[in-house]
Amino acid sequence: MGFEVKADSKEGYLLITISGEYSLPSTVEAINLILEFCAEHKPSKVLVDVSPIKGSIPSMDRFYFGEAFAARYFEEKKSGKVSHARFAFLGKYPIVDPNRFGETVAVNRGMTLKVSIDRDEALDWLLTEGK
């Protein structure tokens, strides 16, 4: 069973909410849908709320997500399908890794991205940093 992914334009950012039971194939699907919404809406700031996701994520899947998301994002950006964007991911433990391994992988590959368990912190970083 895949994730349910919804997008909603908010003032100053695009909110993408992902829900369902965690699985690696669902993650691949979610990356594609996030980037499709980015191509459609052309946001400069995106809050991805993964707090409704149930389950836990193996470390290698965290690595895969960070690497694959960055690679696909830059591929889509280079082709002109998406514009430059900042991404804040909002979640809860155990979906969010306390060491932010997936965040580190994506940032090391050039993404402007933050993972948080606090909505106010995520929005503050998303909306005030880099202005």
Per CATH, the architecture of 4-128 is what?
2-Layer Sandwich (3.30)
- For strands 113-116 and 53-54, give the pairing: unpaired
Domain ranges within the chain, ordered by starting residue: 4-128
| Mean pLDDT (the chain, rounded) | 95
pLDDT of residue 129: 63
Distance CA 93, CA 56 (A): 8
- For strands 45-49 and 13-21, give the pairing: parallel
Number of other residues whose CB lies within 10 A of the CB of residue 94: 12
pLDDT of residue 73: 98
- pLDDT tens readout for residues 61-120: 999 999 999 999 999 999 999 999 999 999 999 999 999 999 999 999 999 999 999 999
Distance CA 54, CA 127 (A): 27
